[in-house]
Structure formats: structure tokens, C-alpha cells
């Protein structure tokens, strides 16, 4: 399961859970004498070798299931003894030997016995004290994660080298946190990311201060909860494909709020005057004509809506038609 390159709180949770299951699956490949000995060894491993620690009940529940899936012959085939199994430090990547069916069975056993949602939350809180999760949210996470097929598949993928499914698991985790209103990022993180997007775009020339203003308003309208619920992080917020999913959830009023930012954060008339002068240079327009067009455009809420929709990843034909229609309208108005 991939870890976000940004220093986010849920990354540590994913590492802990994956390390836990990876070691468990390695332990599944152990060798020795009786199935009972392997079960006891597995229980010892589960109960003491990982953070956050499992309860005795969780270890007691999962150990016989995992040992039974692997079977004594499976342990023997890897020359592993019960002693090896109970020693977490001696277990390597033997889980890679599991086929998809056995990996899926082990993961099912873990989900049956262990509240992975709770473990993930505990790890996230340990990694960052700014992540606060009450009992209701913890229950919500457990339900969401257990029911999400992408999340389950990602655990299986960690031991079958299915990188595509593993990538989906990270987004599944983010969706669960968003749905349960456990925010892993704050507005500041998204604002910083969007400030760079606005500062680097070529359509409108903006200062760093203006970029910050646009970014802060943009994130405030979309909300952190909505962004995270759609699997959008500060690292991929510039992806128009990701943003397009959020656009469909915005009301007309919210789209208009995004458009209004271009009237409050920047001098839109001056900015458009520069844009139009460049775009229309081949036709040798007069300064008065450029100023007229820029004035009408800056005062037109439809133009601001067009900018907002474009920013939100809208590539529909009607948006292109709107741009053409507005251009013709401004030319007519300015003679």
C-alpha cells in the first residue's frame, strides 16, 4: 500500500498496518512439528511484536486461522519452526510466496479478528497529535475500511505484487477518513499547494500574494473534507482529473464563489487587459478597444464562471461555446 510522499498523518498508519500484516504473512510460512505449536507461536508473535499492539483476544482469534490457512506443511516447506514464527525479527519477505487465494484468506482472517480501522487510527494519532478521532469516528472508520473492496484488495496486493490494487488502497484509506470527517490535512496544506498552482499557471499573471489569496478562497469553498473524501491531497490537487470529481459536487453558488475570487483577489480588469492585448495583437486593436473589452469581461459574472469551471477541470463543449459567445459579445459591445 503506497505511502503519501507528503508528510501526512495517515502515511504512518499505512506503514504500521502493512508492516503488521507483512510480518504476519511472513510468519504464515513457518515450519515445525504440530499445528498447535504453530498456532501458539503465531499468537505470541501477534500479541507482542507490533505497534500498535493487538489485544490478547485479537491475537488469540487470528493466530489459529492464519496457522490453519498456511498449514503445517506450508511451514515445513519453508523450513520454519515455531521458534522462527514467534521471533518477528527473523521473518523476512516469505509472504511473497503466497498465491492470491491464500493471501486473500489471510487478509480475511485479519479483518475478522482485528479492528484494522481502530489500529489505523491509533497509528495515525501516534504519528501526529493533531489527528483527533472520537469513538464515533473510530467506529465509522472501522466500518468504512472493512466494507471497502479496494482497501481489502490492497492488503492482498501487498503480498501478491499487484501494484495497481495497492495504489487504490491508499485512496480507499483517504476516502474513509474523509467520509468519517477525520481530516488528515488542514486548509493551510492545501492552500500552499494551490498557491503554487496559481503562481505557475500561464493564463493569468498573478503575484505571490494574489496566488495565496486565490488559493485560500478556492480551498475554503471546496472544503478539506470534500477534497479528502474524493481522494485529493495537497500532492495531487493540481490534477484536473481529480478536481473534476469535486466539481460535480459543487452547487452553482459555490462555482460562482470560486469565480468571484478573481474579482476580489486580483485586479481582473488590468490582468485581462494584458491578456487581450497579447491575444489580439495580430489584429492591431486600439488601446481603447482593449480597455473596453477588458472592462466588460471583468464585470461579467459569466466570464468569472468560465474561469472557475476551467480551473475545476471542466472541458465540456458548452464551456468552449460559452467562451466563443462571450468573445463575440464583447467585440460587439466595444464596436
Percent of the chain, pLDDT > 90?
19
In this prediction, residue 159 carries a pLDDT of: 61
Rounded CA separation 272/243 (Å):
25
* Alpha-carbon distance values, 191 to 109, 173, 195, 219, 311 (Å): 41, 22, 6, 6, 15
Length of the chain: 335
Rounded CA separation 231/192 (Å):
18
Residue 8 predicted with pLDDT over 50: no
In this prediction, residue 218 carries a pLDDT of: 94
Rounded CA separation 301/132 (Å):
40
Quick: pLDDT tens for 194-224: 998 888 877 788 889 999 999 999 999 999 8
118 or 315, greater pLDDT: 315
Residues 6+ apart with CB under 8 A from 4: 10, 11, 170, 233, 235
Residue 40 predicted with pLDDT over 50: yes
Q: Between the ranges 93-102, 135-144, 322-331, where is the mean pLDDT highest? A: 322-331
93 or 285, greater pLDDT: 285
Q: Is the dihedral of CA 196, 197, 201, 207 positive or negative?
A: negative
In this prediction, residue 49 carries a pLDDT of: 64
In this prediction, residue 34 carries a pLDDT of: 67
In this prediction, residue 10 carries a pLDDT of: 38
* Mean pLDDT confidence for 179-191: 85
Rounded CA separation 42/23 (Å):
11
Residue 229 predicted with pLDDT over 70: yes
Residue 51 predicted with pLDDT over 90: no
- C-beta of residue 104 within 8 angstroms of C-beta of residue 155: no
Percent of the chain, pLDDT > 70?
79
Q: What are phi and psi of 158, to 5 degrees?
A: -60, -15
Query: Which region holds residue 232: left if phi is over 0, alpha if psi is between -120 and 50, else beta?
Result: beta
Rounded CA separation 128/141 (Å):
17
Give which of 312, 145, 150, 171 is closest to 235, Cα–Cα: 171
**28-32, 69-73, 80-84, 255-259: range with lowest mean pLDDT:** 28-32
Rounded CA separation 143/146 (Å):
5
Mean pLDDT, the chain, rounded, equals: 78
In this prediction, residue 15 carries a pLDDT of: 38
Amino acid at each position: 500500500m503506497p505511502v503519501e510522499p507528503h508528510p501526512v498523518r495517515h502515511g504512518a498508519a499505512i506503514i504500521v498496518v502493512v508492516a503488521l500484516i507483512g510480518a504476519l504473512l511472513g510468519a504464515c510460512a513457518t515450519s515445525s512439528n504440530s499445528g498447535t505449536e504453530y498456532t501458539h507461536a503465531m499468537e505470541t508473535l501477534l500479541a507482542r511484536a507490533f505497534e500498535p499492539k493487538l489485544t490478547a483476544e485479537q491475537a488469540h482469534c487470528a493466530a489459529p486461522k492464519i496457522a490453519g490457512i498456511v498449514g503445517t506443511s506450508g511451514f515445513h516447506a519453508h523450513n520454519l519452526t515455531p521458534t522462527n514464527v514467534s521471533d518477528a525479527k527473523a521473518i523476512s519477505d516469505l509472504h511473497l510466496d503466497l498465491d492470491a487465494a491464500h493471501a486473500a484468506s489471510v487478509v480475511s482472517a485479519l479483518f475478522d479478528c482485528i479492528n484494522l480501522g481502530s489500529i489505523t487510527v491509533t497509528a495515525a494519532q501516534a504519528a501526529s497529535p493533531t489527528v483527533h478521532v472520537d469513538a464515533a469516528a473510530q467506529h465509522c472508520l472501522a466500518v468504512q475500511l472493512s466494507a471497502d473492496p479496494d482497501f481489502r484488495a490492497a492488503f492482498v496486493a501487498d503480498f501478491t505484487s499487484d501494484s495497481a490494487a495497492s495504489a487504490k488502497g491508499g485512496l480507499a484509506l483517504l476516502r474513509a477518513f474523509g467520509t468519517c470527517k477525520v481530516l488528515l490535512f488542514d486548509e493551510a496544506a492545501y492552500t500552499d499547494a494551490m498557491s503554487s498552482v496559481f503562481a505557475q499557471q500561464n493564463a493569468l499573471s498573478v503575484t505571490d500574494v494574489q496566488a495565496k489569496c486565490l488559493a485560500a478562497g478556492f480551498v475554503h469553498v471546496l472544503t478539506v473534507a470534500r477534497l479528502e473524501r474524493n481522494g485529493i491531497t495537497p500532492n495531487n490537487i493540481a490534477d484536473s482529473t481529480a478536481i473534476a470529481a469535486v466539481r460535480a459536487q459543487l452547487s452553482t453558488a459555490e462555482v460562482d464563489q470560486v469565480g468571484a475570487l478573481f474579482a476580489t483577489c486580483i485586479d481582473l480588469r488590468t490582468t485581462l487587459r494584458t491578456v487581450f492585448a497579447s491575444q489580439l495583437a495580430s489584429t492591431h486593436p486600439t488601446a481603447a478597444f482593449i480597455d473596453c473589452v477588458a472592462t466588460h469581461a471583468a464585470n461579467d459574472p459569466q466570464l468569472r464562471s468560465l474561469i472557475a469551471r476551467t480551473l475545476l477541470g471542466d472541458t465540456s463543449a458548452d464551456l468552449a461555446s460559452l467562451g466563443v459567445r462571450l468573445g463575440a459579445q464583447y467585440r460587439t459591445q466595444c464596436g
